[in-house]
Structure 1
């Protein structure tokens, strides 16, 4: 993160992804929970609650999800709940691929 970016965060002119930026900053500084919460409050943001995991799918994951148009895809929550899924647009092959043919050893012993 650049100094200008951090100054904009301090002045409240930060991007919409303020919580993500604050999370990255506090992890990079290796702050404990008390100091992390203080940084969030300084930025007028709600600190993350202990034991809570966001069930939102990040935009970058959704872009990847959309780009895998010809594959079956599933996005899971940390507790393995399904957040998003889609089937293969055409029937996927149920036949396993053939194993390679065994090669004969030409080594003399």
Structure 2
């Protein structure tokens, strides 16, 4: 019975995904909805034959490594991942690190907000997705997307001047991430780099600040446009331990004019 339930779960989940959900080209000649079995197998780093046997309830009990590959390939949220493990009769272990793939509907949301600078950050402050206005406002997101590194090590004015509270918020969130993902190599390396390279980070970490996401108004110093008074609001994506940061300007202000200028500059690139 358990094999049949696992097989049904895999089939249903595969049928609900499109190629663009997992950054695959749609291609011609697709007769059925959802991903092909061989595409899921490739994404999960297993043979197509083994995956087909799982969907047909003929395969052996999959290992934790196989199940983690399937959870990643099928874009499972933490609760769905736990359910997958239980269907397979395997005790689920905590995720090794913070999710670093953004769900397609979250990415699409960013581009429906042309007057808002919007980014998605992971638990370790990596910017995973952004819209053009956010890139024009913050700059260099593709080359250096980690906001904690840019705040404490590069000391960029756009993230430093008027951002004292942001420093405490970053440390609070990184502390929480370190508790949840103690074995994640990327997070461990980032924390070591911040401790070694920033006296401000060491002092803020030692103070153990407590912050909660919510509305804030702050002044950013843009290298070309000078001080900008910006409203920051955060939407959480709890199933992926991610945050959507929305940066807006009050209508009729000089900052609103600056946003229009940045948006136009971003469209012309």
Q: TM-score, normalised by structure 2?
A: 0.22
The higher radius of gyration belongs to 1
More helix by share: 2
More strand by share: 2
Q: TM-score, normalised by structure 1?
A: 0.45
